[in-house]
Amino acid sequence: MRVVLAEDHFLLRDGVTRLLQAFGHEVLAAVDNGPLLHEALTSLRPDVAVVDVRLPPTFSDEGLRAAVSARTEVPGLPVLLLSQYVEPLYAHELLATGSEGVGYVLKERVSNGAEFIATIERVAGGGTAMDPEVVSKLVTGKSRDEPLNSLTPREREVLECLAQGLSNAGIAEALFVTEKAVAKHVSNIFMKLELPPTESANRRVLAVLAYLDR
């Protein structure tokens, strides 16, 4: 996996670089600001970009802007956002460029190197990885008259798990229910949200995120 990393803190940038290399991945570039990130993404065209949202010079959303601009020029470029903050607007702006190969992970939740690498690999493969807190903000941010409000509390939990990229087995384990019960909840969710049924977990996640983004 060929990776471009954008992180302004040297120690974190160096640490993530070493972690990626330890798992056999190649870091094409490790930059610390938005302009260099955009240049690296459009010229090197990595398999995935791991991007801190807030980068110099203003430390507002330079990382996000560079990633969104690069995905416009390189359609389908996988991007995993890293942030200290839960900001649904960032997720919406990234999803607006396409729901395949996108992710939004909170730095404070990264506590396991292998799981973090697995998350990056999932996004690189065209999947989705959204932090549960981000998904929750996306879901609760919808207006009252939208179909999401027809979901039961349990169906909302299942929807959030779907958006995180969990399979039926993973959801069953997380919610302490049977896979059969999960399948029923998933069916109800897509019926209520008027989404067509799909065969793979990844496609279901993409359908959910496409709905959340509209």
pLDDT in tens, 89-114: 777 777 777 777 888 888 888 888 99
105 and 82 Cβ atoms separated by less than 8 Å? yes
Residues with Cβ within 8 Å of 27's Cβ and at least 6 positions away in sequence, in order, are 3, 4, 5, 17, 20, 21
Is 60 exceeded by the pLDDT of residue 207? no
The rounded mean pLDDT for the chain is 82
Please report the sign of the dihedral spanned by the C-alpha atoms of residue 63, residue 64, residue 69, residue 71.
positive
Amino acid, res. 84:
Q
- Non-local CB neighbours of 180 within 8 Å, separated by 6+ positions: none
Give the residue among 44, 57, 49 at the shortest CA–CA distance from 102: 49
Higher pLDDT, 139 or 135: 135
Helical packing angle, 88-95 and 62-73, nearest 10°: 10
d(CA 135, CA 86): 10
- Residue with the larger pLDDT of the pair 148 and 85: 85
Please give the average per-residue pLDDT across 59-69, as a whole number.
Answer: 88
Pick from 116, 79, 81: nearest CA to 98: 79
pLDDT band (50, 70, 90) for residue 27: very high
Give whichever of 49-58, 91-100, 137-146, 152-161 has the largest mean pLDDT: 49-58
pLDDT for residue 147 = 67
Residue 143 has pLDDT above 50, yes or no: no
